[in-house]
Amino acid sequence: MTAQLSYWVLPVADTERAVAFFSAVLGWEFSEPGSMGGRHVLDSEPWGGIGPAESGGPSAPRLAFSPDDLDAAIARVRDLGGTATESAEASGYGRWVECTDDQGTAFALFTAAVAD
């Protein structure tokens, strides 16, 4: 089983200030705000975004990895003492699962939606 980094999120206190800052510093172009107030970075590889930091939540970047078999990876996380939420559709982009490893390090597993 292999997995690649497929998405990242920078939690920010003020999304619009972050858009202005990262546009000026890194030249990033952003999507319009989504339903949760976040913005996708349209010209990064791998794809990423910025979004409102949760009150008391993580302030470190969040990383999402795409395993070959999402269901097998979820089972393996749990078997090895980590945690994994039930997978949820990520706004039509694919399945997203919030996880922690056996030491409490947060990460996500993601698989993109298949285009018709």
| pLDDT tier at 58, thresholds 50, 70, 90 | low
Using an 8 Å Cβ cutoff, are 49 and 7 in contact? yes
| pLDDT tier at 59, thresholds 50, 70, 90 | confident
Domain total of the chain: 1
Please compute the mean of the pLDDT values over residues 78-84 and round it to a whole number.
95
Q: What is the CATH number of the domain that holds 75?
A: 3.10.180.10
Using an 8 Å Cβ cutoff, are 107 and 61 in contact? no
Tell me the residue range of the domain where 98 lies.
3-112
pLDDT at residue number 90: 64
Neighbours of 81 (CB within 10 A): 10
pLDDT at residue number 19: 94
End-to-end CA, the chain:
26
